Amino acid sequence: MRWMKPILHTALFALACTLLVCGCSRSGGKHINISSGEYYSEDEYEELSKGDKEAYCKDLAKELSGIKNHLNERNEELETTRDQIENLRKEIAPVERELLRTESDIRTLEKQIEYFENLPKKWVIQPGECLWIIAGYEEVYSDPVKWPRLYRGNMNIIEDPEWIWPDTILVIPRDLPRQYIIRPDEYLSLIAGYWEIYADPLDWPKLYEANKDRINDPDLVMPEQVLTIPR
């Protein structure tokens, strides 16, 4: 068996070299990276040497300090963001109030539009009625003084506004015309004074300026001329 002794000595020498190179730690030489989220388990930590434990604890303390600094930075950013949000809320508040007012106005207008759309477009004259009375009805114009509008809108069936007949069907003009056909004895200031035109005789220059190509002299207009009414 003497021939085995050299082999045994060689094997022991190789094992000693391995221990010297690899160290005496019982952790199996596991390497971790704390910054990547790697940590020793409790059992692995217990297997570390004293020096490795101290180094590991220092690395943990350093990582914890970095996390705290990062958290403080995020908290500062959060406070800044909260201040920005509060400032935006202050800016938005008057806009929201204006929006609520606008929505209220829109609802009011919608009700008004619905009301006017349901008003009659025509009127059957009843015994005892005249244009003055009809114009004064709420569902017509609510103003008897506006009777000429009924007359001007129905001149094709009414020869004399003081004489109208029961069962005659009147058209009730409700729009603001964009054109107007000049009648006999009418002139620009008279036309401008009609409430459905401008309701102001002094606005006659608007009619003249818009119709210069057809009117040479604003004091002289001809029946059947078609005027453009700028709005």
pLDDT tier for residue 11 given thresholds of 50, 70 and 90: very low
Classify residue 131 by burial, with Cβ atoms within 10 Å: 0-12, 13-18, 19+. Answer: buried
Nearest C-alpha neighbor of 126 from the set 118, 134, 135: 134
167-223 residue pLDDT tens = 999 999 998 999 999 999 999 999 999 999 999 999 999 999 999 999 999 999 999
> pTM of the entire structure?
0.53
How high is the pLDDT of residue 4? 39
Tell me the average pLDDT of the chain: 86
Res 20 pLDDT > 80: no
Amino acid identity, position 226: V
224: pLDDT strictly greater than 50:
yes
State the pLDDT at residue 17.
37
Cα 153 to Cα 122: distance, rounded to the nearest angstrom: 11
Residue 164 near residue 158 (C-beta atoms within 8 A)? yes
Per residue in 99-155, pLDDT tens? 999 999 999 999 988 988 899 999 999 999 999 999 999 999 999 999 999 999 999
- Classify residue 183 by its DSSP letter: P
pLDDT of residue 218: 94
Distances (CA, A) of 36 to 32, 63, 69: 9, 10, 17
pLDDT at position 28 over 60? no
pLDDT over 60 at 23, yes or no: no
Residue 36 banded pLDDT, cuts 50, 70, 90: confident
Decide: 188 and 198 in contact? Cβ < 8 Å.
no
- Determine the pLDDT at residue 34: 84
Q: Within 10 Å of residue 193's Cβ, how many Cβ atoms?
A: 15
d(CA 179, CA 197): 9
3-state secondary structure of 169: strand
**Per-residue confidence band for 29, with pLDDT thresholds at 50, 70 and 90:** low
Q: Which residue is listed with tokens 């001007």?
A: 152
Residue 147 confidence (pLDDT): 96
> pLDDT tens-digit profile of 45-85?
899 999 999 999 998 889 888 898 999 999 999 999 999 99
